Amino acid sequence: MRRRFLSLSLMLAAVAACSAAPAGRTASSTPKATPAAVGRVAPPSALPARVFSPYDGNPGFERLFQRLAAIEAGHGGTVDILQLGDSHTAGGVFTTRLRDALQERFGSAGPGYMPAGKPYIGSRRPDVAVTQEGKWQYFNSLSDTPPPGWGMTGFVARSRARGAAISVTPKDGLGFDIAGVTIVRQPGGGDLLVLIDDRVVKQIATQGPAGQADWITLPTAGQAQQLKLVAADGRPVDIAGWSLDRAKPGVVFDSAGVVGARLTTMDRWNPETVALELAKRKPDLVILAYGTNEGFDRDLDMTAYQDRFKAALRRLNAGPVAVIVLGPLDGQAESAACKKVANKDAVFPCQDTPPPLGKCAWYTPPMLGRVRSLQAQGAKSGDYVFWDWSQLMPGACGMDRWVRQAVPLARADHVHLTPEGYTLTANAFFAWLMDQYQGYIQPGAAPPRSVVAGDTGVAAGR
């Protein structure tokens, strides 16, 4: 079937005005159909037949779209979406806008899973308030000497004094019905007090084999407002993440980003911890947003990167799970000659290839396009869908042009977007995702084969 396309300029205008309006496809690869799409029960004669969808026969995307449709139809259930990435994810603006758009349409099933405490400067989740008391140490999976227990948040919080406390509270006043905490055991680990709304509900001993992670599920009486974790003694307590969920229909959006991370940063995560977290969260959609830092590495081994990219996908796609890879944004590096320019306010030219030695210019790192192409090519296997983040930008030196426009959509570092840029691109991604969803569900036509019968996925089951 030939699907409808909109020009990029029209799509950007539409999503800037109204993020929830369906937009045309951006260039993407869709999963191959499999024989599972064949042999559906004939639709009732009162309804027109469905048009073939590229997602027919892909159990991950069929499950995702059918569960979203069940929520919209009033049949209940929750959809869990997980985004992992680098600083574009860690900054929180893109994920916040995407979370808001999804929950505005399908309802909010809570803030979801996130790093515990305040793991880095600039750590932000606008939908929750986080406090920290006493002494805490944070281990970053990008560079720190690894304690054996990092999970998919990429951080471990460690208490360093008796009474050290961290808390999290949803800002919307709707509270939460179930909390979750991932602890990482260690020899000599201390005891952890868990408080919900200032009442101690559990004391957890964390002493045990090094790196053994446990997920602690904490039901509440309903609409609890605060989860607080307190070190009961001076021995260290390690926490890999915490979650807040609601027992109501809607979307929960888990997100975790590590500044400077590459997809291969996952190699430092404890696979048993990650497997535990995935088993408990049961994501319906995994969004991977890596590639910028790889693209700025002129010595990147593309063959090794391809192998590790595939390994990371296998680790996260414990199906049926829909996976979307966000190809890296455009970006520019500063040539070495620019460091000798005395006028720091000077505007350097931009070119799409590295400049000759001695010339000062912004230029697009050659590896950036190669990383993006590798990710796009991999989507042809049908294991995931590729969405090209950079195609929203105005061609060659697109980041530079966004830096220089009247209302900048990119920051002067030529790597990151402004809040306006992240919001605009999140709106575009949401519009594209909803277009894929509508194209699969096809309201008014015979329904697709059911792949979620008896599977409501309510948050209370986590």
- Residue 426 inside a domain? The answer is yes
Q: What is the DSSP letter of 412?
A: T
pLDDT of residue 2: 36
Average pLDDT, 10 consecutive residues per value, the chain (462 residues): 40 45 42 42 66 91 96 96 96 96 97 94 84 95 83 96 98 96 97 97 97 95 95 97 97 96 93 95 96 96 93 81 96 91 78 92 96 93 92 95 96 97 98 97 89 54 45
Please give the pLDDT value at position 7: 41
Structural domain for 295, as ranges: 8-110+248-461
| 178 falls within a domain | no
Dist. CA 97–CA 421, nearest whole Å: 11
In a domain, 119, yes or no: no
- pLDDT, position 344: 58
In a domain, 234, yes or no: no
CA angle 3, 289, 302 (to 5 degrees): 100
Tokens of residue 75, six digits? 């049949």
CA neighbor of 371 nearest in space, from 293, 259, 426, 310: 293
The predicted pLDDT at position 80 comes to 98
Whether residue 147 is contained in a domain is answered as: no
pLDDT of 276: 95
Identify the pLDDT of residue 88. Answer: 96
338 vs 372: CA distance, rounded Å: 27
Q: How many domains does the chain have?
A: 1
Q: Does an H or E element contain 308, and which?
A: helix 302-316
Q: Per-residue pLDDT tens for 136-184?
A: 999 999 988 866 789 999 999 999 999 999 999 999 999 999 999 999 9
> Backbone phi, then psi, for 101, in 5-degree steps?
-65, -45
Residue 129 placed within a domain = no
Q: What is the CATH number of the domain that holds 399?
A: 3.40.50.1110
Residue 190 maps to a domain: no
Model confidence over 354-367: pLDDT tens digits? Answer: 999 989 999 999 99
Task: Determine, yes or no, domain membership for 429.
Answer: yes
pLDDT attached to residue 15: 44
